[in-house]
Amino acid sequence: MSSDSSSGGSGISSPPGRRGLIAFAWVWVGVPLAYGLYELVQKATQLFTG
Amino acid sequence: MSPPVAPPGWSRWLVPPAALSVHLSIGQAYAWSVFKPPLESALGLSGTQSALPFQLGIVMLGLSAAFGGTLVERNGPRWAMTVALICFSSGFLLSALGAATEQYWLIVFGYGFVGGIGLGIGYISPVSTLIKWFPDRPGMATGIAIMGFGGGALIASPWSAQMLESFGSDSSGIALAFLVHGLSYAVFMLLGVLLVRVPRTEKPAGDDGPSAVDGPQVSARDAVRTPQFWCLWVVLCMNVTAGIGILEKAAPMITDFFANTSTPVSVSAAAGFVALLSAANMAGRIGWSSTSDLIGRKNIYRLYLGVGALMYGLIALAGDSSKPLFILCALVILSFYGGGFATIPAYLKDLFGTYQVGAIHGRLLTAWSTAGVLGPLIVNWIADRQEEAGKDGASLYTLSMFIMIGLLAVGFVANELVRPVHPRHHIPAPASKEKEAADVQRQQ
């Protein structure tokens, strides 16, 4: 996730000041998604064990 | 509200989490079934009545995406995400009031009507912006967001169930659960509102990548007058119909299919099958949509529709002879179902440009609403007729499978008919670029 550009496109690398914000934003959405995936895997295993 | 233009150095990798915060929230709609049994017992409702908020929500999703797309394009993603946040969250708060006072109509109105507007506006809110930020990988970018819509139900389903278990399944417990949902989703979606930025139109020095405004641009009004739009409408409708036919009836279908074999499927195993289908649906959204950036949009839909038909054929021919084959084919079909949803915005961008791609996408989602009725109708109606005719097991679904193959073949032909849009529909290039630059200046 290093490339960025304020105008879109595949452009230039991300300034260090934004990296903390990028990490925070991805953790914000990543943690609930990981919880959902964990619950899903728990349930899906029932197909093979149930 | 003016959409803020990204300052120099703003990372485009902040935009997908902004989009995900909205899509992971509104994807809760697919977990509505968690509230059905408690509502039925607390308010004395029938199964049909308790499904009303969800059904109205999906209708409003289609309508608000179709008719609100132009407003979203005009006012920008921050405005759209704010509207989505207010409507979706208010829907829950109204429902909380409805449950607390045992006024069911307020739950239908709140969750279905008000919340449904939030679903539609929220669904299309980040699409155009993501495509503009990622002109080199539009399939991957929209795949991330639209994967979030699938992921929303995965989060909400266990979360809502645990909440109801803690608060109780009576009307006050349901009201408290709705209240917590409304407040939590408002906070969660706020990240999207705060982070979303539209890209600047000029390219920085040294950036040789594709620009968001490269290529022909077509307005939403002109796009719906082109055969390409209607070909894609048919493609999406057929692909979704084929997937939803399995998804909607997955648990009874696998149980019926292997009922007459030596290894019938238990209730918990059928629930596991449904969960696995959800995983395939989600994985298809990000996986296949990203692949479309490499092999092209037309080719990926050839795969969805052609191989999808082949998978249905294998299920129909193999019958109940092989459970692993049935599961594998169903997983592939569901991954194509998800992929079809996630790839369509990038296909629209290829044909109509980025100028009003969000509005065009909103109009195309009417194909989803149509398929949402068509898919379950075909599978359920045929299964019921076959049962009346004395059939059981896999033969309940054989005819449905062949109908799905036919529908996928129609979609395949429609995809083959897609050609570049005739230049008479294009907005003159300098005019469209000037229009986008003027929009950005107005926003600043």
The tens digit of pLDDT for each residue in B89-148 reads 999 999 999 999 999 999 999 999 999 999 999 999 999 899 999 999 999 999 999 999
Q: Which residues of chain A have pLDDT under 70?
A: 1-17, 50
Q: Between these two residues, B419 and B443, which has the higher pLDDT value?
A: B419
CB contact under 8 A, A10 and B209: yes
What rounded mean pLDDT belongs to chain B?
89
Q: Which chain A residues touch B355 with a CB distance below 8 Å? A: none
One DSSP character per residue, B92-145 reads HHHHHHHHHTT-HHHHIIIIIIIHHHHHHHHHHTTHHHHHHH-TT-HHHHHHHH
CA distances from B212 to B14, B46, B106, B350 (A): 17, 50, 43, 11
CB contact under 8 A, A8 and B133: yes
CB contact under 8 A, B158 and A29: no
Q: Which chain A residues touch B10 with a CB distance below 8 Å? A: 4, 6, 18
Decide if B144 contacts B136 (C-beta within 8 A): no
Q: Which chain B residues touch A45 with a CB distance below 8 Å? A: 272
- pLDDT at A15 (0 to 100): 65
The HSE-up count of residue B398 (CA atoms within 13 Å, CB side) is 12
The torsion defined by the Cα of B413, B416, B421 and B424, in degrees rounded to 10, comes to -60
A45: contact with B, CB 8 A cutoff: yes
The HSE-up count of residue B438 (CA atoms within 13 Å, CB side) is 8
Decide if B204 contacts B194 (C-beta within 8 A): no
A39: contact with B, CB 8 A cutoff: yes
**CA-based nearest distance B15→chain A, Å:** 9
Q: In this model, does residue B20 exceed pLDDT 70?
A: yes
CB contact under 8 A, B204 and A37: no
- pLDDT at A3 (0 to 100): 47
**CA-based nearest distance A13→chain B, Å:** 9
- Rg of the Cα trace of chain B? 22
* Residues making up chain A, counted from first to last: 50
Tokens (6 digits) for B256: 């019926």
Q: In this model, does residue B155 exceed pLDDT 80?
A: yes
Q: What average pLDDT does this structure show over B75-90? A: 96
The tens digit of pLDDT for each residue in B277-311 reads 988 999 999 999 999 999 999 999 999 999 999 99
Say if pTM beats, i.e. exceeds, 0.90.
Answer: no
The tens digit of pLDDT for each residue in B341-365 reads 999 999 999 999 988 899 999 999 9
DSSP-based helix, strand, coil % in chain A, nearest 5: 65, 10, 25
CB contact under 8 A, B268 and A37: no
pLDDT range class, residue B208, cuts 50, 70, 90: low
Q: In this model, does residue B164 exceed pLDDT 80?
A: yes
Q: Which of B206, B211, B271 sits opposite A46 (nearest CB)?
A: B271
* A2: nearest CA partner in chain B: B13
Tokens (6 digits) for B112: 């279905």
- pLDDT at A48 (0 to 100): 79
pLDDT range class, residue B385, cuts 50, 70, 90: confident
Q: How many CB pairs under 8 A join A and B?
A: 149
- pLDDT at A5 (0 to 100): 56
Exposure b/e, B69-98, CB count within 10 A at least 16 = b: bbbbbebbbbbbbbbbbbbbbbbbbbbbbb
CB atoms within 10 A of CB B191: 21
Q: Which of A6, A25, A32 sits opposite B9 (nearest CB)?
A: A6
ipTM of this complex prediction, to 2 decimal places: 0.85
Q: What single-letter amino acid sits at B312?
A: Y
CB atoms within 10 A of CB B434: 12
Tokens (6 digits) for B431: 């005019």
The tens digit of pLDDT for each residue in B367-380 reads 988 888 788 888 88
Q: What SS3 class is residue B405?
A: helix
**What is the C-alpha to C-alpha distance for residues B442 and B100, in angstroms, rounded to an integer?**
45
Q: Which of B125, B159, B121, B120 is nearest to B142 (CA)?
A: B125
CA distances from B436 to A16, B277, B354, B428, B441 (A): 30, 41, 10, 12, 9
The bridge status of strand A12-13 relative to strand A3-4 is: antiparallel
A8: contact with B, CB 8 A cutoff: yes
Alpha-helix runs per DSSP H in B305-322: 308-318
**What is the C-alpha to C-alpha distance for residues B225 and B220, in angstroms, rounded to an integer?**
9
Measured between alpha carbons, how far apart are the two ends of chain A, in Å? Answer: 40
**What is the C-alpha to C-alpha distance for residues B238 and B236, in angstroms, rounded to an integer?**
6
Query: Residue B27 has what DSSP assignment?
Result: G
Q: In this model, does residue B444 exceed pLDDT 50?
A: no
**What is the C-alpha to C-alpha distance for residues B56 and B134, in angstroms, rounded to an integer?**
34
